[in-house]
Amino acid sequence: MLASTNRRREPVWAGALYSSSMFAAAQGQIPTAMRRYNEMRSAAVELDDGEIDTLVRHAAGFLALYGGQPDKAIPDFEAAEGSFEANGNLLRQVGSLFGLALACGLTGDEPQATRCHEKILSITEPRGEAVYRSYSRWASGLSVWQQGESERATQLIREGLRLTRLVDDPRLSAWCLQALAWIAAENRDAHRAALLLGAAGGLWQSMGMSPPFDFSHLSRYQQDCKRRTRAVLGDRGFEAKVKRGRNMKFADAVTFALGEHLRIGASSAPDVVTLTGRERQVADLVAEGLTNRAIAERLVISPRTAQGHVEHILVKLGFTSRAQIAAWVAEQERRSRPR
C-alpha cells in the first residue's frame, strides 16, 4: 500500500504509515520505524485530522519505549489515552494504557502503573477480551518482580500465560516463558530457568525469529539469567537443559511453566473433565450470565479469585469463551435429568 502513490496525504495513508512504523519497531528495525513515523507526522500536519494526531502521539510513546526511553513515552501515552477515551475508541485506549503502564513501571512510578493495569482490567474483563489483558498481566508481573515480589510476579505472569494459551498468542507466550526463566534464575532454580529459556527460544524459532528484546532495557535480565544459570550448571549442563527445553512441545512447555502436572487442555474431551466443586459453582454462575464481579459477590470471594476460577475452567474444558461454558453446563444438566 505504501508503494502506491494515489492515496498519499489521506487518512488511510497515514494509518498505513502508523502500522508500518509499529511493525518495524517491534522487529527492532528502529531506523525504519522512525522514518515511517516522521512521514506520518508530516502527513498529520497537512491532514489536520484529530484521530491521526492522536495516532502520532501513540506511536511516539511506543518508539520511545522501544528506544529505551520510557520517561519520554509517558506524556505521549497520557495524551493518546485521554483522546482515545474521549472518542470512545476502546481498542486504542487500552493499547495506550498498556504502554503507559509499562513506561511508568520502568521509571519507578508503581502507583500509576498499577492504576493503568486496573483500568485495563476494568475495560477488558467485562467484554471478555483476553489479548491486552494477557499483556497487562505480563507487564504487571515484571513490575512486581522488579520490586522484589517474585511469588506475586510469578502468579501474574502465569495468569498472562494462561490467557495467551486461550487466544493462541505465541509472541507473548514466549515473553512469559522468558520472564518466568528470569525469576527462576533469581530464585536459584537453575534447572527450571534453563528449561524455560530453551522453551522460549524454541517458540521464537518456531515463529522464524531470534529471541528479540522489544524493549532494550529488558535485555540485561536475559543476560543475568544466562550468567547465573550457566554458573550453576556449567557450560555442558546449561546447553543440555536449554536444548531439552527447546525440544519441548508448546503445550508441554506451557504446562511446565504453569506448574501443572496433568495435560488438560483443548485436546481433552470436555465430557470427561472433572471440575472442582468451586469451579462447578463458578461455571453455573457463568451460565446464569453473571460477570466475574457478580460471581465474586455471590460467592463472597475476591474478583481476582473469581477471574482465576473462570480462566481455569476455560483451560480445563478447552474453551475460549464464557458462552461455551454456559453451553457445557446446559448439556451437563440435560444429561443428569432422569430419563
Q: What is the pLDDT of residues 166-193, one digit of tens each?
A: 777 888 899 999 999 999 999 999 989 9
Amino acid identity, residue 37?
Y
On the question of pLDDT at 205 being above 70, the answer is yes
Amino acid identity, residue 22?
M
Nearest of 281, 276, 322 to residue 129 by alpha carbon = 322
Give the whole-angstrom CA distance, residue 322 versus residue 8: 44
On the question of pLDDT at 270 being above 70, the answer is no
3-state SS class at 29: coil
The mean pLDDT of the chain is 85
Are residues 253 and 245 in contact, defined by beta-carbon separation less than 8 angstroms?
yes
Cα distances from 117 to residues 65, 88, 98, 104, 166, in angstroms, run: 17, 19, 7, 11, 20
On the question of pLDDT at 326 being above 80, the answer is yes
Are residues 143 and 242 in contact, defined by beta-carbon separation less than 8 angstroms?
no
Give the whole-angstrom CA distance, residue 46 versus residue 182: 47
Give the whole-angstrom CA distance, residue 315 versus residue 327: 15
pTM, two decimal places: 0.70
Cα distances from 45 to residues 9, 51, 86, 223, in angstroms, run: 10, 12, 21, 42
More confident of the two residues 268 and 275: 275
CATH class name, domain 264-339: mainly alpha
185-216 burial: b if 16+ Cβ within 10 Å, else e: bbeebbebbbbbbbbbbbbbeeeeeeeebbbe
On the question of pLDDT at 229 being above 90, the answer is yes
Q: So where are the chain's domains?
A: 1-129, 166-262, 264-339
**CATH (residue range 1-129):** 1.25.40.10
On the question of pLDDT at 322 being above 60, the answer is yes
pLDDT per position as a tens digit, 41-86 = 988 888 888 888 999 999 999 999 888 889 999 999 999 999 999 9
pLDDT attached to residue 248? 85
